Structure 1
Amino acid sequence: MAGEALRALLEHVRYEVLPAAATEEKVLAHVPRDVVITVTASPVRGLEPTLELTGRLAAHGYRVVPHVPARLLRDDVHLKEVVARLREAGVDDVFVPAGDADPPAGAYDGALPVLVRLGELGAPFARVGITGYPESHPLIHDDLTVQSMWDKRAHATYIVSNLCFDARVLGEWIARVRRRGVTLPLYVGVAGPVQRAKLLAMATKIGVGESTRFLTRHPSWFLRFAAPTGHAPERLLERAEQALTAPSSGVAGLHLFTFNQIAETERWRRAWLERLGG
């Protein structure tokens, strides 16, 4: 039964991609239409590349979830423009993190005010995702991140966890969130089968300033990828299987951080589904 539950999680995946020049081509070549694609937003490049790629992928028949970081929104007019553009593209699901832009582009410095405003605008999206942090946020205390999920629960429909490489930490965090009374479905963030050289090349391409910010805030991620044994997502899934598949966990699927290694991620997923009998 546990194997069946793990297979179900692998069948309900979201692929997080970066809005780079070749992303659309890679998605079309390697990702089936039943896989949800989420498109990140860069504090350096702004929302425009995210909105453009979201529209193109949605036109190809994908269910696309754009990231709409609060700190990239200039004002209420900008928020309304973004909503109108996404609705016109047929988007009915958005992910609303606070974002890393420092300073913020406008008045929104956190996700909650944007979530509240979306409600005031008539809840234009059927699904709205918020962030969870199994491993400590570089700038926010753990108690505050869990409290934040509690505060935002009435305005969201699901949670996406940030990267975690420790099965014990992940299991304890899921249990803690549920004890707090947060019952939203959870998509667990897992790094795909990333090769260190390609990851570092990607970090270089997204810009010196953004790469520096990324490294400063997530140094443990690169240490994991740089380890002699590398990173194998299946090891984490095997160790965390009980926590991920327990009915009380409320885990709806996996959110795979592809770092734009899209073909490699889909090959890995298909191989694992075969191994699990799917």
Structure 2
Amino acid sequence: MEADSAQIKLAELLAGYSLEMTGKDVGELAAARELIDVGTRVNITFLSGEDRGLRLAAAAAVKAYGFTPVPHISARRLASRAALEEFLRELGRVGAVDNVFVAGGDPDEPQGPFGDSLSVIESGLLETHGVQRVSIAGYPEGHPGIPDHVLWPSLTSKLAGLRGRGLAAEIVTQFGFDADPVLDWIAAVRERGIDIPIRVGVPGPAGVRRLLRYAARFGVGTSATLARRYGADLLATAGPDAFLRALATDHHPDQHGRIGLHFYTFGGLRATTQWISDFRTGQQPATS
């Protein structure tokens, strides 16, 4: 009976998953589109090596294929207020401004007037240009550059800012390999009276060496050691099936509320969607 319940919850989680892509992944998206449900949310990253035109083309492609584009806005990468306004205007022109993901971004020093995601939210530009829903980041295992005692007030301030501007919100967490710290963090979020949807970050199938590299980069410290359990060696390819089953088994709606899944594809959008399709249909996804 418990196994059946976990299977049902796993199917529910997978029913509304979202994906992540870069501006260079339009060809991968085209190859994978038949495997992706209409309306699926697809986040488009804001990377330093990709210009605005590439991001806009990716957002337009997501929209054209019948999915929901969620362009990233990296606060510290914005050179000026005008740069943010122009990006939002152009997203509006391609029909991709309704949903955005706002993050502080990688640079240690801001390249313009926005030092963090809260400053973008408080600029008033999002709602002015038609944004309706904003995703923000959550860090179940902490952030390598931000102490925990800062993360909680930051989260609540951003949510208060969004609520005050009439913008819907959701949290997308950093990826992990261990369901326990993720669910513990979600429970702590709920204990603080935050009831918005949370999407749990899931690493798509990738080489173990690559997973470890991303884990170290993004501060997934506790989980990094567990990544080795997914492959026989550093040259193996790992899939998140064990993580997903643990998440479904230990997720309790009365304690954790509404959660979904967000797949980080690490450059393998087609491989990730194929893995999801196989996993949903009960096939054994190929991971090596």
Shared fold (TM-score greater than 0.5)? yes
State the superposition RMSD in angstroms. Answer: 2.8
Q: Paired residue for 1:263?
A: 270
Which runs of structure 2 are paired with 1:38-57 in the superposition (5 Å)? 38-57=43-62
Residue of structure 1 aligned with 2:145, choices 109, 114, 139: 139
Runs of 5+ in structure 1 lacking a partner?
Answer: 204-210
Using the alignment, how far apart are the partners of 1:151 and 1:243 within structure 2?
Answer: 29
Secondary structure of 1:95 counterpart: strand
Q: Which has the higher contact order (CA 8 A, sep 6+)?
A: 1
CA contact (8 A) 1:59 1:89 kept: no
Using the alignment, how far apart are the partners of 2:179 and 2:216 within structure 1?
Answer: 23
- Per the alignment, do residues 216 and 267 of structure 1 end up closer, same or farther by CA in structure 2, a change over 3 Å counting? closer
Residue of structure 2 aligned with 1:81, choices 76, 86, 97: 86
Residue of structure 2 aligned with 1:14, choices 14, 18, 25: 18
Task: Give the % identical residues.
Answer: 28
Partner deviation per Cα, 1:219-274 (whole Å, 9 max, x = no partner): 75776555544533111122222443524312331001111222322222223322
Q: Which amino acid aligns with 1:71?
A: R
CA contact (8 A) 1:224 1:231 kept: no
Secondary structure of 2:115 counterpart: coil
Q: Which amino acid aligns with 1:96?
A: V
Using the alignment, how far apart are the partners of 2:215 and 2:191 within structure 1?
Answer: 31
Q: Paired residue for 1:5?
A: 9
User: TM-score when scaled to structure 2?
Assistant: 0.81
Partner deviation per Cα, 1:81-117 (whole Å, 9 max, x = no partner): 1111112211210000111024322010100010112
Residue of structure 2 aligned with 1:98, choices 100, 104, 115: 104
Q: Which amino acid aligns with 2:24?
A: A
Aligned length: 265
Residue of structure 1 aligned with 2:136, choices 127, 130, 138: 130
Q: Which amino acid aligns with 2:57?
A: E
How far did residue 34 of structure 1 move?
3.3
Using the alignment, how far apart are the partners of 1:75 and 1:37 within structure 2?
Answer: 26
How far did residue 152 of structure 1 move?
0.8
Residue of structure 2 aligned with 1:193, choices 205, 209, 216: 205
Q: Which amino acid aligns with 1:160?
A: V
Deviating beyond 4 angstroms after TM superposition, the runs of 4 or more aligned structure 1 residues are: 213-227
Q: Paired residue for 1:272?
A: 279
Q: Paired residue for 2:76?
A: 71
Using the alignment, how far apart are the partners of 2:174 and 2:33 within structure 1?
Answer: 26
Q: Paired residue for 1:172?
A: 184
